[in-house]
Amino acid sequence: MRAIAAMAEAAPQGEPMIRATVMPADANPYGTAFVGWIMGQMALAAGALVSREARARAPVVAADGFSFTAPLAVGDELSVYAAIARQGRTSYQVSVEAWGRGRHGAAMARVALGRFTLVATEPRD
């Protein structure tokens, strides 16, 4: 299994919206994270950001422009960064990057990036 190597790109500034460790239940038979699990974590990060900004529920209505660039092994740490790229009256387009770090190292590599569109709805109590 290939270890995460440092890339020329720097990780986004600030704190990630989500940080998680890849567990065996999140992995395929080859010991790397399912891309669906990674994409799900990215959607959670986008939703958390928009819900906080809009002060309302904000379900994902579209996902596009995704690329998965490096594998994550069981035990690796996933950090997900999200930023609002465009905002309409109730819709938000969020750019999301997922970065991985090997369990026992400091080097980080981008493992995925993409965009989600979310729509703020009526708040629920």
Residue 47 φ then ψ, to 5°: -65, -40
C-beta separation of 53 from 15 below 8 A: no
- Whole-number Å distance between alpha carbons of 81 and 44: 11
* Overall pTM surpassing 0.75 (yes/no): yes
pLDDT (tens digit per residue) in 45-63: 999 999 999 999 999 999 9
Residue 16 has a pLDDT of 96
The token pair that represents 114 in the structure block: 């993409």
- Whole-number Å distance between alpha carbons of 10 and 111: 13
- Whole-number Å distance between alpha carbons of 90 and 119: 6
Band of pLDDT at residue 125, cut at 50, 70 and 90: low
pLDDT (tens digit per residue) in 69-121: 999 999 999 999 999 999 999 999 999 999 999 988 889 999 999 999 999 99
Residue 123 has a pLDDT of 67
The token pair that represents 113 in the structure block: 């990036």
